[in-house]
Amino acid sequence: MKKTFCITVAVLIGLLGACEKIGNGSNNGNGFRYSGTIETTKVTLSSKVASDILKFSLEEGDEVKAGDVVVQINDDKFRIAAKQLDNSYGRSCKLKKDGYIPDEQHDVTVMHKDTNDLYIKWCRIEAPISGTIVTKFKEEGEYVSPGMNILSIANLKDVWAYFYVEHGMVHKLKVGDCIKCYLPELPKKTIIGKIIKINEEAEFTPKNVQTREERTRLVYGVKVRFANDDMLLKSGMVLETAFEQEKKK
């Protein structure tokens, strides 16, 4: 009797394992769905010179456009040096032309002038992308050193997520497909995403997948982009999809 019971339990466990779907996802009663985490393009801007922040009036949540000046670092010392270096450069050009100094000596003068001009340019920090200021690390008037972070900008209206699917699923997908996705917190709201990339090579499931068993499986990364004009999706949110395609109108 005990032996029969053990065999029955083993068979049941085997059947449950066979029914388990390969991939990182969940079964929420609506069938198996793959899950992915929302990400966004974010850049962190740091100082390239040692000086104090002269102007930084923007706040977290403010929107900026690519090319906007977001931070002005005090460049007084570099502009003072520029006057002396410009004079030295003028004298060096004349002396070189008249044959009084070798080319190497003139090249050193040019290098010093160009380096200082670059420092002046670096004091004017521009936004490399259009987006929203998500973090201010420093305030106006604070002193910064080279490499010290000042702010970060994220494009919150253009987000994406990677879903990891097994070999048996990837052949059903193609770049350009529009698919239906869902937030677990809003299961009745459909969010449309567009597949923009399917990794060419299989990889082990990333480490952020919770179970060790799933991390040992070979899967293909599928990158799906979402228009986020209503700002509903936030970085770190989890989306689910069964890769059901949106019907073209």
Strands 124-126 and 186-198: unpaired
pLDDT, position 214: 54
> CA triplet 148, 154, 160: central angle to 5 degrees?
130
Q: Which of 12, 26, 41, 24 is nearest to 153 (CA)?
A: 41
What does the pLDDT profile of the chain (249 residues) look like in tens digits?
Answer: 444 444 343 433 333 333 334 345 555 445 678 999 999 999 999 999 999 999 999 999 999 999 999 999 999 999 999 999 999 999 999 999 999 999 999 999 999 999 999 999 999 999 999 999 999 999 999 999 999 999 999 999 989 999 999 888 888 999 999 999 999 988 889 999 999 999 988 888 665 554 445 544 788 999 999 999 888 999 999 999 999 887 665
- Coil, helix or strand at residue 82: helix
Residue of 224, 208, 193 lying closest to 24 (CA atoms): 208
Show the beta-strand stretches assigned E in the chain. Answer: 25-27, 32-46, 51-55, 63-64, 69-73, 124-126, 131-136, 143-144, 149-165, 178-183, 186-198, 203-204, 218-227, 238-245
43-153 has the same fold as 22-42+155-245: no
Fold of 22-42+155-245: Elongation Factor Tu (Ef-tu); domain 3 (2.40.30)
Structure tokens at 21: 């779907």
Q: What pLDDT sits at residue 6?
A: 43
pLDDT value, residue 26: 53
Residue-range domain boundaries for the chain: 22-42+155-245, 43-153
How do beta strands 238-245 and 203-204 pair?
unpaired
Task: Say which amino acid occupies 190.
Answer: T
pTM of model > 0.85: no
Top CATH class, 43-153 = mainly beta
23 DSSP assignment: S
Predicted local confidence at residue 200, as pLDDT: 87
